Homo-oligomer: A and B are copies of this chain.
Amino acid sequence: MNDVVICGIGMTSFGKFLEKGLKQLGNEAIMKALDDAGVPKEAIQAAYVGNAVAGVVTGQELIRGQVILRSIGMGGIPIFNIENACASSSSALHLASVAIQAGLYDCVLVLGVEKMTHEDRTVTFKAFEGGVDVEEMKYLIEASSMSHSIFMDVYARKAREYMNRTGVTKKHLAMVASKNHTNGSKNPFAQRSKPITIEEVLNDRIIVDPFTRYMCSPISDGAAAVVLCSAKYAKQLTNKPIYVAASVILSGKEHSFGEPSVIEETGRAAYQVASAGPEEIDVFEVHDAAASAELMAYEELGLCKFGEAGKLIEEKITYINGKKPVNPSGGLEAKGHPIGATGLGQICELVTQIRGTAGSKQVQNVKMALAQNAGGMFGLENAVAAVTILKK
């Protein structure tokens, strides 16, 4: 199989941009990624476009990628629209990587784009409902207050169970949120740009117990894009290739207490593909749609033993200057969470970390980096999980 290399990245700021449409967001990220790779748009042989909720929010379904690419004259090529909840663009990256591995293309585009904000906020909240089994979880949808995403209700229930089992406290959650907002304040693309103290997190407005607003990712518009190349083609573009060492997608299934979650399973599979373990990874971007999810990811990805995530954040191991930095970008909580773009947003951050161009949020000496994201819900289990490992 051919090796897969990331040659270019580009992203928009993440935020609330009521006036920007899907095409404008997507095109900004694409043009930046092409420019970063140093390839003209004619070099792109196929495009893989991840999007989750824009269909509901904007009415643009069925041919989202074609509409975006055509508006900048990128027609004629194969274009695939991938929908996999919050892992949509990670899934797009996976499928693009497979096509290069198969030798089908030398240079392709991966785009994650999301238009979530709407003048009527209930439209946005409605869009989340498609991320659960709508027949089975009708009760959840009917009970929805339409004041926040139903996913926060699910995350909160999961967090309460987790806290009961492990002794993780609300202060641990606040430490995660404070760390991420402080990291995010160094990220020019972040939606929330202010450093936040632990006390400010704790004293903020409650969304669903135990979460205050700063412990939850915001509603965001945004896009991120990547130019993916075969190793051979990449030689024309860069002498410092960044390889996709693993790109694994799995789906959730019923599991009992003590059995591995889909995130844990996906992480294990990715470590195996990359022939590496958590000890070799220098920096992580994880799916902190809520602060509790970051703590659980510490355990699921093997940064610490089960039940020890609270200790890990207390010891500041996952701070930028710690031994295992997590979410230097600010994570979903501070950088923003335009769900179909989030997976590639993580990848863009990790590429800058490996390149050493991450500015004041730079982690020292990054050779290998891991992105984890997940989305959709069956009960308290994610419907889909993605783990991507990049290396120098």
Give the B-binding residues of A (Cβ under 8 A). Answer: 1, 21, 23, 52-53, 55-56, 58-64, 66-67, 69-71, 73, 75-85, 91, 94-95, 98-99, 101-104, 127, 129-135, 248-254, 262, 265, 375-376, 378, 383-384
Contact = CB atoms under 8 A, between A and B. Distances in A.
This chain: how many copies in the complex?
Answer: 2
Given A55-B130, A63-B384, A95-B95, A250 B82 contact: no
Contact of A84 (B63, B71, B75, B378): B63
B64 A83 contact: yes
Nearest to A104: B98
Nearest to A377: B63
Contact of A62 (B69, B73, B83, B253): B83
Contact of A66 (B1, B21, B60, B384): B384
Contacts of A77: 250-251
Contact of A131 (B23, B62, B104, B248): B62
A254 B72 CA distance: 12
Contact of A98 (B56, B85, B102): B102
Contacts of A73: 253
Nearest to A46: B249
Given A69-B251, A70-B378, A98-B102, A84 B76 contact: no
12 contacts: A56-B61, A62-B130, A63-B84, A66-B378, A66-B383, A70-B133, A75-B253, A77-B251, A78-B248, A78-B249, A78-B250, A79-B84
Contacts of A91: 80
